Every structure is written in structure tokens, then in C-alpha cells.
Structure 1
Amino acid sequence: EKFLEEDGRRLFLLYVRPVINGKGNYYIESRTRNHRRTDVIIDFQGRQTVIELKIWRGNEYHLRGEEQLSEYLEYYRLEKGYMVSFNFNKKKQVGVHEVAVGDKILVEAVV
């Protein structure tokens, strides 16, 4: 059965909703003024967080995802953003690490 990014978003939001319940909001595919769409934006306790969700399709695709997230952070004037990669390779390295892209910090989680 094929796993889609939308499936990943649903799973991610199952975890996030109870955390932000009553103390914040989340927006799915929020459209920017330059007609780009972010995957998830969370407003929680006065802070805004941009999260990009990706299915692992190779390193080149992953690097484009990092650049895309960096551009969203620039648009929203944020220094730090988050990327969740759904990787179904048997030899994947799961975990969380930080990556610098220009002057932005990306916290990446591979699941």
C-alpha cells in the first residue's frame, strides 16, 4: 500500500493536536502571498512554527526540501523550522539532528 504525504500529515497531527488543544492553532497548507503552500504551521503560546513533511525520495529531493523550508522561514521571518522525513528504507538512520541552511536552523526528524 502506498504511503502519501497526506497520510504522514494525519499521523503527525494526531500527535500534535492534543498538545496544542486550547492553547494554539494549526494550519494545513497555508498559502503565502507568493502562492507557495507550507505543509503545517503551528501557532502555540505566542510562537509560530513552520513544519515541512516529506517522504524520503533520495538525497537530491531531501536537499530541495531543506531549501524549501528555508525559504518559508525567510518568508515568515523565523530562524528555526522543522522537517519530518518519512523514510521507508531498511538501512535508514532514524533520529533528530540540526542542519544549518544559510542563516536558518532546520531541526530534521527521520522516522
Structure 2
Amino acid sequence: MAYDDIDIPMRSMEDLEKAVKDTIDEFENATHNSEALESAIGSPLDRSGLRSQAQRFEEAWDDKRDTLKEHLVDLLDRVSGTREKWAELDAELAKAVDTSDGNDG
């Protein structure tokens, strides 16, 4: 098998790694964002029902979001580790090809 037959999707792994990091950041900022939403809702027409519903939703979603964030952190570790190992393998194969090319002449 020729070395040029190996296609390592490094750019795709980097994109996935960034997307997972961005999602984790969003989850970490969600409480602040929801508090800002509740504040922005206020009490239109002296009624606080909509704000109360937003607050209830946030409280119910909070535990689930923490669980999902934990899973995302685990996924990020795996994606990062896989990307790093592929990069190491790519460097080793490139070195092996360079070394073998030098010995042929």
C-alpha cells in the first residue's frame, strides 16, 4: 500500500474540536444568558408570567445541561486525543517516507 492512499481528515477533526469547544462555552454561559433574558422580559403590563415561565424552563434545563456538558467535555477529550494521535502518525509516516526516499538514491 502506498503512503498516498492514506487520507487523514485533520481539518474535519479540527473543525469538530472547535465546534465542541464552542458548544461547551455556550453551555457555560447559558445561565448568564437566561438571567439576561429574564431581565429583558421584565413584567410587561405588570404581569410576570412570561418571566416566571422562562425561569422555570431554565431551572428544569439546568441539570440536563450540566449532564450534557460533561458528555461534551468527554467528547472533546476523545476528539482532541484522536486528532493528536493522527498528527503524530502523520509525522512519523512522513519521516519514514523521507528516510526511505533518501536511501534509494
TM value normalised by structure 2 = 0.21
Bigger relative contact order (CA 8 A; separation at least 6): 2
Larger radius of gyration: 2
Higher strand share: 1
